Amino acid sequence: MTVRALSRRIRELFREKGERHVTERALLSALFTENGLDRNANLLSPDLSLEEEKCRKILADAERILEGYPIQYYLGTEFFCGEEFLVAEEVLIPRPETELLVELGERLAPPNSTVMDFCCGSGCVGIALLLRRKDLFCRSFDLSEAAVRLTEKNRSRFFLEDRMEIIRADLLSEAETYIERVRPSLILSNPPYLSAEEMLSLPSNVAREPAMALRGGEDGLLFYRSFLFLAKKHGIPLLCEAGAGQKDELCDLVEKEGLRGEYFTDAEGRFRAFYAF
């Protein structure tokens, strides 16, 4: 089969699938790159003949992705704040809307201070912040062993071993111990914030991501309640990502703790983050 014929079959598969979480161009590029071809092989070498076994594998990969397997897991990387991060199936995929958290952290973190990144996942938030603010030190936390290992790999990728500590901890029970020990200037977090009901209606690609990185208790507010309590008790400002429909509930929680709050929208104009202090 030639590259031209293979590309035609991949496009047919793309049109056959109703749910789309990847563009046709991105799909072709990923399939070719991961199978030893030029990402633009369909344009540069359309008449190149491929072995039958390779074609079968590429078509099987295409079907897997079009059935919901995240292309980021397939590639093993994702871009965030202009940098390429390693990703893995056991860890949440970095998303463009989370870049707002980094932008706000860059502006709000005091000079020459230590910040804490709760629920760090791939480590992308803390690492991106350190790349923008050379005066900061970050301590990143996650309960998931896989997340800790991946954050360690990404830390090494950007040569940040001397400015970033990574700790496995249950933040719902152990966070206060670390806060008392370190006294950070700012806590950042993109915690799990989907409700039990929302978890039942996830798109197929999102459903492939780890549930522990998505579900924030029955109502989606479990981690916010805990972190806001600690922010109030220890006088540490808290900066969090949140779901687009959670603003009213979070306003109530911030007010209940006697804190002041600022609320921020993403590039699409949707509520996306809050700062409690």
Q: Which domain holds residue 63?
A: 3-67
Strands 271-276 and 238-241: antiparallel
Classify residue 96: in a domain, yes or no: yes
User: Please, are residues 126 and 117 in contact by the beta-carbon 8 Å criterion?
Assistant: yes
Length of the chain (residues): 277
Say if CB 139 and CB 187 are below 8 A apart.
no
208 and 146 both lie in a single domain = yes
Q: In degrees rounded to 5, what are phi and psi of residue 114?
A: -105, 130
Structure token digits, residue 205? 């690609």
Per-residue pLDDT tens for 199-239? 999 998 999 999 999 999 999 999 999 999 999 999 999 99
Q: Is 79 among the domain residues?
A: no
Q: Give a yes or no: residue 101 inside a domain.
A: yes
pLDDT at 267: 87
155 and 46 both lie in a single domain: no
Please indicate, yes or no, if residue 144 is contained in any of the structural domains.
yes
Looking at residue 92, the DSSP 8-state letter turns out to be: P
20 has pLDDT over 80: no
Across 74-149, where does the E strand assignment appear? 77-80, 83-86, 114-118, 137-142
Residue 83 lies in a domain: no
Structural domains of the chain, count: 2
Query: Mean pLDDT over all residues of the chain?
Result: 95
Q: Which of 58, 60, 122 is nearest to 91 (CA)?
A: 122
The answer to whether residues 63 and 92 belong to one domain is: no
Q: The whole model's pTM is what?
A: 0.91
Q: Are strands 186-189 and 114-118 parallel, antiparallel or unpaired?
A: parallel
Are 81 and 129 within 8 A, CB to CB?
no
Torsion sign across C-alpha atoms 14, 19, 24, 29: negative
Taking only the tens place, the pLDDT of each residue in 103-142 is: 999 999 999 999 999 999 999 999 999 999 999 999 999 9
Based on the fold, state whether residues 58 and 92 are members of the same structural domain.
no
- 114 and 62 co-located in one domain: no
pLDDT of residue 169: 97
Domain co-membership, 178 together with 126: yes
- Has residue 217 been placed in a domain? yes
Q: What are phi and psi of 207, to 5 degrees?
A: -65, -15
Residues 124 and 25 in one domain: no
Specify the CATH number for the domain of residue 224: 3.40.50.150
Residues 208, 106 within the same domain: yes
Note whether 63 and 93 are same-domain residues.
no
pLDDT single digits (tens) 133-189: 999 999 999 999 999 999 999 999 999 999 999 999 999 999 999 999 999 999 999
Start-to-end C-alpha separation, the chain: 62
Query: How high is the pLDDT of residue 42?
Result: 84
Please give the C-alpha separations between residue 179 and each of 55, 96, 220, 255, 264, in angstroms, as whole numbers: 54, 29, 23, 22, 25
Question: Are residues 199 and 155 located together in one domain of the fold?
Answer: yes
Q: Could you tell me if 197 and 214 are in contact, meaning their C-beta atoms sit under 8 angstroms apart? A: no
Phi, psi of 84 (to 5 degrees): -95, 120
pLDDT for position 44: 86
Domain contains 179:
yes
Q: Does residue 76 lie within any of the structural domains?
A: no
In angstroms, the CA 120 to CA 150 distance is: 10
> Parallel, antiparallel, or unpaired: how do β-strands 238-241 and 261-265 relate?
unpaired
Considering the domain architecture, whether residues 264 and 183 belong to the same structural domain is answered as: yes
Residue 260's pLDDT band, with cuts at 50, 70 and 90, is very high
Rounded Cα gap, residues 180 and 236, in angstroms: 11
* Three-class SS state of 112: coil
